Amino acid sequence: MEQKDTREREVGLPDAKRLEALARLAGGVAHDLNNILGAIDGYASLLLRTLPAEGQAALDTREIRRAAAAATALTGRLLAFSRPQIIQKEPVDVKALLAGLACKPGLDLSIETEPGLPPLQASPGLLGGALQCLLDNAAAAVDRGGAVRIKAGLARGETGAARLRITVEDTGCGMPPEVLEHAFEPYFTTRDKGQGRGLGLFTVRGAVLQHSGTAEIRSAPGAGTEVTISLPLA
Tens of pLDDT, residues 62-120: 999 988 888 887 777 677 666 656 678 999 999 999 999 988 888 899 999 999 999 99
Q: Report the distance separating Cα 135 and Cα 172, nearest Å.
A: 13
* 99 and 71 belong to one structural domain: no
* Number of helices (H), then strands (E), in the chain: 6, 8
Question: String of b and e for 29-38 (b: at least 16 CB within 10 Å)?
Answer: ebeebbeebe
Residue 218 maps to a domain: yes
Which of 40, 56, 82 is the endpoint of a domain?
A: 82
Give the β-pairing of 162-170 and 225-232. antiparallel
User: Which helix (H) or strand (E) segment is 202 a member of?
Assistant: helix 200-210
* 76 and 97 belong to one structural domain: no
Bridge partners (DSSP) of residue 120 are 92
Contact call for residues 167 and 232 (beta carbons, < 8 A): no
**Which residues of the chain fall short of a pLDDT of 70?**
1-20, 22-23, 77, 80-86, 186-199
Which of 31, 65, 82 is the endpoint of a domain?
A: 82
Number of domains in the chain: 2
Domain extent at residue 208: 87-232
Residue 5 maps to a domain: no
Instruction: Tell me which residue of 128, 65, 70, 68 sits closest to 101, measured CA to CA.
Output: 128
* 172 and 116 belong to one structural domain: yes
Which of 40, 59, 82 is the endpoint of a domain?
A: 82
Residue 67 maps to a domain: yes
* 158 and 132 belong to one structural domain: yes
